[in-house]
Structure 1
Amino acid sequence: MLNPQDRLDILETLHFLSHVIDNREWDHLADAVTEDVEFLSPRTDAPETLEDLAPVMALPGPAGIRQGYELSQLAQYGSVHTLNTVIEPIDQDTAVTWSRLIMVSFDQRAVGADVVDTLIRTPAGWRISRRVVHARNMLRDQQRQGGGYVPGPYTFMHFDEAIVQAQQAVTDASAHQDGELPR
């Protein structure tokens, strides 16, 4: 459903948002996200259980994205790199992506995250309408000498959940346009 140019434009939107965050150029958020973007991230910076990693802190709009980055441990990371993006088309105007982020702090420490984004085509181009951040490798495990990991099914579950949610939104919008009531 997406042509190669759409896929490139989606990747450029994701990469541009990384530049906006890296440079703290918050005035350019509108070039990467929708006005009603939903941003979800874990509530704690020191997770001890999988439940602590759940993205439950919801911050709406571009101001929410700025607040989410400034109030979380992400503020200590001066560089965000988007890697390994998978694009799942929902229809010709909607896609869900799953990207790996590597963030490097000002004192040269690194942390990883998985990000699941829902993007929609707007008159101005592809924009992120929903971003869910999943902390990665933050649980402590004595057998791993202080390191930890997030089990694979955890993030796959959230990617699949985002796909189903986006598919339902497209179905509801179509039904609304046809004069039907959403179920």
Structure 2
Amino acid sequence: MPSALTPADFEELRQLLARFAHVFDNGDTEALEEVFTDDGVIVLAGPGREFHGLAAIREFNTSLGELSPDHHTLDTVFDVDPEDPYGTVRARSRYLAVLPDGSVHNGDYVDVLVRTPKGWRIAHRRSVPRHPVRVG
């Protein structure tokens, strides 16, 4: 049986969440495999859009082009899944996103993080807008 999560695991998890912003905001679609599982999911709760699988996440990232926000992940709390204390972690983070016009959007990321043979990855990310609420 694997050992329980260590401080090194939590540091890797923090690095993973930080890496998302660097990879996604720079349009480094090849490096998205360092962030998401192959079957990873992004759910955008505000506009009600979903992207299933690494190929769809890459396509979404590419489609944003110059309109991609600049993401900043803050105030993350981790919860170890009591049913799987060695391989699944739930995380809730606040985010700030600076939009191309300089306005700021914020919300919460609700993530399911899993340990894979290549390290920790995001299996499911739900992005929930808070304020201002964006329409369209």
Q: 1:60: how far off?
A: 0.4
The separation in 2 between residues aligned to 1:61 and 1:19, in whole angstroms, is 20
Report the equivalent of 2:70. 79
More strand by share: 2
Report the equivalent of 1:101. 95
Q: Name structure 1 gaps, 5 residues minimum.
A: 45-55, 141-183
Q: Name structure 2 gaps, 5 residues minimum.
A: none
Report the equivalent of 1:59. 51
Q: Which has the larger radius of gyration?
A: 1
Could you state the TM-score of these two structures normalised by the residue count of structure 2? 0.83
- Equivalenced residue count is 128
The separation in 2 between residues aligned to 1:16 and 1:29, in whole angstroms, is 9
Report the equivalent of 1:89. 80
Report the equivalent of 1:25. 28
More helix by share: 1
Report the equivalent of 1:137. 131
Report the equivalent of 2:10. 7
Q: 1:109: how far off?
A: 1.3
Could you state the TM-score of these two structures normalised by the residue count of structure 1? 0.63
Preserved CA contact (<8 Å) 1:39 1:64: no
Q: Which amino acid aligns with 1:94?
A: T
Q: 1:76: how far off?
A: 2.6
Q: Which amino acid aligns with 1:39?
A: I
Q: 1:105: how far off?
A: 1.8
Report the equivalent of 2:107. 113
From the superposition, tell whether residues 80 and 138 of structure 1 become closer, same or farther in structure 2 (CA, over 3 Å).
Answer: same
The separation in 1 between residues aligned to 2:128 and 2:61, in whole angstroms, is 13
Q: Displaced runs of 4+ in structure 1, greater than 6 A?
A: none
Pick which of 80-89 and 106-115 moved more: 106-115
The separation in 1 between residues aligned to 2:13 and 2:21, in whole angstroms, is 13
From the superposition, tell whether residues 75 and 87 of structure 1 become closer, same or farther in structure 2 (CA, over 3 Å).
Answer: farther
Structure possessing the higher relative contact order (Cα contacts under 8 Å, 6 or more residues apart): 2
Instruction: Give % identity.
Output: 30
CA RMSD of aligned residues (A): 2.2
Q: Which amino acid aligns with 1:37?
A: G
Name the SS of the counterpart of 1:128 in structure 2: strand
